[in-house]
Amino acid sequence: EAGVTQFPSHSVIEKGQTVTLRCDPISGHDNLYWYRRVMGKEIKFLLHFVKESKQDESGMPNNRFLAERTGGTYSTLKVQPAELEDSGVYFCASSIQGFTGELFFGEGSRLTVL
């Protein structure tokens, strides 16, 4: 069974450009989460989808970040326009159950904004 997959693994862009990260959860997992780790700090929650609906987006830093999950399958996280402080590793995770469910993480997408 395939795990959570993320693409790209590494992206280098200039300030002001746009980047779109993609996450494919484990098949059958309705819950999908985005997290990020910036500058070696803590891993911070960004948002949570249940199928195609945003359950909790309280961790999204600002309106330059847009997450979608059309059809309740894969998800995209777009950063537009990117700023220097957006650099970090963006992790996606999925779980079967949103409540007391074990999280499975992808390998992360490393974003570098120059």
From edge to edge, which strands make up the β-sheet containing 75-79? 5-7, 19-24, 75-79, 65-68
The 16-55 site mask, x for binding other proteins (CB under 8 A), equals ---------------x-x-x-----xxxxx--x------x
Question: For other proteins, which is the closer residue by CB, 13 or 43?
Answer: 43
User: In angstroms, what is the minimal distance from the CB of 43 to other proteins?
Assistant: 4
With a CB cutoff of 8 Å and minimum separation 6, the contacts of 100 are none
- Per CB under 8 A, does 108 bind other proteins? yes
Nearer to other proteins, 66 or 103 (CB): 103
- The beta-strand segments (E) located in the chain are 5-7, 10-13, 19-24, 31-37, 43-50, 53-56, 65-68, 75-79, 88-95, 104-105, 109-113
Residues lying near other proteins in the complex (CB under 8 A): 31, 33, 35, 41-45, 48, 55-56, 58-59, 89, 91, 98-105, 107-108, 110
